[in-house]
Amino acid sequence: MSWKRGFTLIEILVVLVVLGILAGLAFARLKSQRERAVVASMTADLHAVAEEQEAYYIQHRAYSPVVDSLNPRPSPGNVTVIHEGTTTGWSGSVSNPRAVKQCYVYVGSAAPVGAASADGVINCS
């Protein structure tokens, strides 16, 4: 009897299927981590806007109704919007086209926007 050395076609196909499954799992996890990173940057940007709003309030005794007067320096791709800015409160949100979620916050007597449910608490949904 002569024995040939090497792998059979079935063995090679099984290895390729296992590698394909592992690659699919790794890609799904990578995509999830990327989404979390974008949401973390949106939360950080909204926190920076909140700090800028407080500094603006100390100088003007009112919250800014526009982002341009705050200079929060948003992360690349993030879009910050101030929905309301009065003498008694403000509300705002941050979005990113690469993320499904948006982050919201309101402070004082401003009308809650999006998923914001508590005064001063950033909520992403």
Q: Render pLDDT for 35-91 as a digit per residue (tens, 0 to 9).
A: 899 999 999 999 999 999 999 999 999 999 999 889 878 899 999 999 999 999 999
Q: Which residue has the tokens 């007597």?
A: 109
pTM score of the predicted model? 0.78
- Annotate the chain with three-state secondary structure: CCCCCCCCHHHHHHHHHHHHHHHHHHHHHHHHHHHHHHHHHHHHHHHHHHHHHHHHHHHHCCCCCCCCCCCCCCCCCCEEEEEEECCCEEEEEEECCCCCCCEEEEEECCCCCCCCCCCCCCEEC
